[in-house]
Structure 1
Amino acid sequence: MNTKEEILTRLRQTEGYLSGEQLSETLGVSRAAVWKAITALRESGYAIDSATNRGYRLTASPDVLTPEEIRCGLHTRAIGKNIVALQEVDSTNEEAKRQAQCGAPDGSVFLAERQTGGKGRLGRTWESPAGTGIWFSVLLRPSLVPSEISSITLLAGIAVCRGIRSVTGCAAKLKWPNDVVIGSRKVCGILTEMAAEIERVEYVVLGIGINANTEAFPAKLAEKATSLRIEAGSAFPRAAILRAVLKELESLLLNAKAGSAFQEILDEYKFLCVSLNRRVGFFWNGEQQTGMAVDVSPSGELIVERDGGGRISINAGEVVVQGIYGEHLPNPEGSKRA
């Protein structure tokens, strides 16, 4: 951590005042450096009281996504040690891929207050207004082959659910493969991209967008989208949610690497998955079909019992789930259409 981050951490850990002399001695920097860091923190929106012969006291923190705010209280080994925070970017996934090509390390986090070209699945755009959401991407350099990448998407979904639940208490669940929902509406989307050769993954980018403190959505989105603020009735510090998600993601990745814990992780995904035991609609061999989602395979495929008979595994494409996002499916006897 730099001097500004160290001072912020110590101010948060101290209930009363902390003298400039103490900070100077503890951090091994000059009093002028302490004053410079305090001034920078105030300019970033932190309310820091100062009193003669007493020192400094943190009285309020802004809802900002800065490296010092995120790292203060982030307990991870690798994820988040390198944080790039931008006011605006085309897409945090695109920025992560650009930085990956320049050698950015495993676990780097790229975030922005606003995306001008946020991306969702299947080429869709992702609305990313400033000041309300958590728009970020995590760069990973796993020792995996391309066919194993789908497991990382499953892990990311669980990490987001765990992080949201721990900070907000909202009952976040998963719509296969990578939407996070509360009730029947979407609160978060996850987009996984990678660069790979035939037998080696160079890097993976996990793009995650969480609707945190959005108060309302346009009419075209209101039936399908929600936010943590809408669901809980109050705003949340975005950095706290991000820290919780990053912590859970690293924990899950480490457990998955151990191998023996993967079945437990898969079981948790299936427990959280609202797609299971519901009727779903999908395209198969160029034909729209319906069926019952019954399982998720170890490789992340959705297993469906078709209304017309037979069990199939779906590994890509759009799957509509009865009752989620206000979707309704036809009756089994009328489910097939050319």
Structure 2
Amino acid sequence: MTSREQIIQLFRQRLGDYISGREICSVLQISRAAVWKQVEQLRELGFEIEARRSRGYRLLESPDLLLSADISAELGTSLIGRKVHCTSEIASTNQLTQQLAVDGAPEGLVVLADAQTAGRGRMGRCWTSPAGVNVYCSILLRPPISPRQAPQLTFLTAVAAAETLNALYSLNARVKWPNDILVGGRKIAGLLNELSAETEQIHALVMGVGINVNMTAAQFPADLRYPATSVRIEMGAVQPRLPLVRLMLQRIDELYLEFLAQGFSPLRRRWEALFDLLDRQVEVDLGARIISGVVGGLEPDGALKLFLPDGSVERVLAGDVKPIGMQAKG
């Protein structure tokens, strides 16, 4: 941890109590002048810190910042979050995680940014990433599976994100194939998994998650392809990001260990329980053509199974899916 994170951790451990400058110097092995400088920097970040002669410093209030020390505290995961890297602004959390993976970063590394300047969604689309309001997170995995199975892990992050939103806020979040989370038919989160692999071996799989937490309606671009919402809009109030991040990482840890032990079937069942279009008539825009049929669920490789009117089955690997009725397959 940095000196700043160590000071924050001390304040958290002794919340409401004064901590003397001498004690901080002793724990961090820095000078009194360095302590004062760190405290001033924390104040600039929005921390309300009281200082009293002969008593020391006391933390009164914290801003809604995502800090590695706070996220790691009481996380309790087995793999995800072994190392947490937080930054104020970056081009893309997926991009940095890929670079760190090449440099030998351990499986379970979590990268978070307060803002992204080049956030990306599926098919190279831009992901709007303003500062201080959302969760932009990437997780590094090195799963002992074949590259053909890698798409299954997109559904893992979808389940974790949706279950987290439902557990914390009772939003009735639902999944949209292949990689979106909806609330009331509006997009609240998106996923982007990126793979580095050879023919039969995965070197690194980066799971990217973007969740709209405290964005206002005015912050969404006017040219969105899909209606969007945020936790703040749905709840009617600003929400702290730390509990969401911590619970989501715990869910991902739980689901990943289950996936490694039991395969895709339990995960597929959990995803389908959050999917409103199972057994419904849909229209799928494949780009070059549009097809319609009845959704039959997920194939083992993550493809969407579609029963066509002529009785044949279409495996959809990519496309935009829209409901057009409630007709179920016979």
TM class by shorter chain equals 0.7 to 0.9
Residues 5 and 72 in structure 1, CA contact (< 8 A), matched pair in contact too: no
| Match 1:307 to one of 275, 284, 309 | 309
- Structure 1 residues 331 and 37: CA distance shift in structure 2, 3 A: closer
The one-letter code of the counterpart of 2:259 is A
The one-letter code of the counterpart of 2:237 is S
Structure 1 residue 275 corresponds to structure 2 residue 277: yes
Map residues 111-190 of structure 1 onto 2, 5 A cutoff. 111-190=112-191
| Match 2:227 to one of 211, 220, 224 | 224
Secondary structure in 2 aligned to 1:143? Answer: coil
Match of 2:255 in 1: 252
Distance of 1:93 and 1:281 partners within structure 2? 31
Match of 2:318 in 1: 317
Map residues 29-178 of structure 1 onto 2, 5 A cutoff. 29=29, 32=32, 37-178=38-179
**Structure 1 position 245, deviation (Å):** 1.3
- Structure 1 residues 276 and 22: CA distance shift in structure 2, 3 A: farther
TM-score by length of 2: 0.86
Residues 176 and 275 in structure 1, CA contact (< 8 A), matched pair in contact too: no
TM-score by length of 1: 0.84
Match of 1:295 in 2: 297
Distance of 1:192 and 1:223 partners within structure 2? 20
**Structure 1 position 283, deviation (Å):** 5.0
- Structure 1 residues 223 and 208: CA distance shift in structure 2, 3 A: closer
- Structure 1 residues 331 and 65: CA distance shift in structure 2, 3 A: closer
Match of 1:239 in 2: 242
Deviations 1:183-212 (A, max 9, x none): 101111101110101110000011111111
**Structure 1 position 149, deviation (Å):** 0.7
Distance of 2:24 and 2:16 partners within structure 1? 17
Residues 3 and 27 in structure 1, CA contact (< 8 A), matched pair in contact too: no
**Structure 1 position 126, deviation (Å):** 1.4
- Structure 1 residues 79 and 16: CA distance shift in structure 2, 3 A: same
Residues 23 and 34 in structure 1, CA contact (< 8 A), matched pair in contact too: no
The one-letter code of the counterpart of 1:300 is G
Distance of 1:331 and 1:274 partners within structure 2? 10
Structure 2: 5+ residue stretches without partners: none
Distance of 1:269 and 1:288 partners within structure 2? 25
Match of 1:19 in 2: 19
Match of 1:326 in 2: none
Deviations 1:225-276 (A, max 9, x none): 111111111111223222221121111111211227x533221111011232
Structure 1: 5+ residue stretches without partners: 323-328, 333-338
**Structure 1 position 280, deviation (Å):** 1.8
Deviations 1:300-337 (A, max 9, x none): 222211234322322x2113222xxxxxx4999xxxxx
Residues 7 and 23 in structure 1, CA contact (< 8 A), matched pair in contact too: no
Secondary structure in 2 aligned to 1:220? Answer: coil
Distance of 2:74 and 2:113 partners within structure 1? 20
Secondary structure in 2 aligned to 1:161? Answer: helix
**Structure 1 position 82, deviation (Å):** 2.8
Identity %: 35
Secondary structure in 1 aligned to 2:224? Answer: helix
- Structure 1 residues 238 and 256: CA distance shift in structure 2, 3 A: same
Distance of 2:234 and 2:176 partners within structure 1? 17
Distance of 2:227 and 2:286 partners within structure 1? 25
Secondary structure in 2 aligned to 1:221? Answer: coil
**Structure 1 position 6, deviation (Å):** 4.2
Distance of 2:46 and 2:138 partners within structure 1? 25
Residues 16 and 60 in structure 2, CA contact (< 8 A), matched pair in contact too: no
The one-letter code of the counterpart of 1:232 is M
**Structure 1 position 68, deviation (Å):** 3.1
Residues 5 and 67 in structure 2, CA contact (< 8 A), matched pair in contact too: no
Residues 285 and 321 in structure 2, CA contact (< 8 A), matched pair in contact too: no
The one-letter code of the counterpart of 2:156 is L
**Structure 1 position 25, deviation (Å):** 9.8
**Number of residue pairs matched?**
324
